[in-house]
A = this chain, B = another copy of it.
């Protein structure tokens, strides 16, 4: 057995114990984790400081350093997040469909944990605690493989969580960290079929596509966000400009940020007049098709074909004109990552047609794509935003970390 296979077997054994734990016991473990985050804050911050020093020495860019950095406020916020998860309903405690057959068989559907959840993610130590808390609450063991830049921080966070689990009478192996942060361990994790029930990659589009293509373990793709705002010919142009500005600029690094505006030819000139002053506040770089370029002049660069599929994560916006509603819908369905798509329109017909025809996890009329998240959609917390159709779509909360089983009470029934 390899080290990772041993870790998988230990997680599977722990998952079988955790699946039978009561909601109260799982909540105790979560509270113990929240307390340990406060009590062992110094250890965690020291480990993080070592990660940060190494990353700085390696010339890591400031945006990544910021995501990597912990401080007392961020640790407090992690603890608060864990307590929020504890306060959510236990998804395995909710009753499913239940009925009695004419032959007297009592059949019901019971929500059960998936089992062992693998996570592959990049350099955000808060994800380590968030993901573990959501897995714990839903009764799943987890095997976490964070980015190498955050290894010391993740190790410290996982150690304190394992201690808290033990204190709460649950197996430590409910949460574990992959010790090897090389590509080899990611590869091995993708094929750990015997022990992993699902693998959730979280990070850049490249990582996610590679995992989805390569893995033999079932994968949930999350967080690829090539989102569009479509400005229809009938749009309220002030509203359209406000929505685009919010969707692009309020937080460009996240997956529900817009990457491309599609403008109906008839609305283009008026829309640009409204939108440019807002986009200029953040010096948004525009990459436009020829028709938009003719209107935007030196304010924009020509878009390349690849710009239509890029998740910039930055103050860059692709600009496409469309000759018709139908052309806009076809363009969006061809280039969307299936995350969040928005139409700004005053046309009832086009609003409904957009909602019907666009194939994405969340489709909006006259509102910013930035609303797609677990909190806004009433899930309380999320482990990621699924852009696939199988199993989960859109923000994944606790329920999306479960499956079910049919439980049948008989009294000797046999089938004719």
Question: Using a CB–CB distance below 8 Å, which chain A residues touch chain B?
Answer: 16, 19-20, 97, 99, 101, 105, 107, 112, 114-115, 193, 197-198, 212-213, 216, 218, 220, 236, 239, 242-243, 245-247, 250, 333, 351, 355-357, 359-368, 370-372, 376-378, 388-391, 393-394, 403-416
A118: min CB distance to chain B, Å:
13
Q: Is the CB of A403 within 8 A of B390?
A: yes
Q: Is the CB of A410 within 8 A of B115?
A: no
Given contacts A99-B378, A403-B393, A405-B393, contact A412 B366 (CB under 8 A): yes
The contact sample of 10 A-B pairs, CB cut-off 8 A, is: A16-B333, A16-B359, A19-B356, A97-B378, A218-B388, A363-B406, A368-B410, A390-B391, A391-B391, A394-B405
Our pick among B97, B112, B197, B413 for the contact of A371 (Cβ within 8 Å) is B413
A212: min CB distance to chain B, Å:
7
List residues of chain B with CB within 8 A of the CB of A406.
361-363, 372, 377, 393-394
Question: In the complex, which of the residues A220, A403, A408, A416 has the most CB atoms of chain B within 10 Å of its own CB atom?
Answer: A408
Q: Which residue of B lies closest to A367 (CB)?
A: B410
Cα A376 to Cα B406 with chains together (Å):
12
Given contacts A16-B357, A356-B20, A360-B405, contact A236 B412 (CB under 8 A): yes
Given contacts A16-B357, A357-B20, A403-B389, contact A408 B242 (CB under 8 A): no
Given contacts A212-B216, A406-B362, contact A415 B105 (CB under 8 A): no
Q: Is the CB of B408 within 8 A of A364?
A: yes
A202: min CB distance to chain B, Å:
17
Our pick among B112, B198, B371 for the contact of A408 (Cβ within 8 Å) is B371
Q: Is the CB of A390 within 8 A of B218?
A: yes
Q: Is the CB of B242 within 8 A of A414?
A: yes
Q: Is the CB of A410 within 8 A of B250?
A: no
Q: Is the CB of B250 within 8 A of A389?
A: no
Our pick among B376, B389, B394, B404 for the contact of A101 (Cβ within 8 Å) is B376
Q: Is the CB of B107 within 8 A of A390?
A: no
A119: min CB distance to chain B, Å:
15
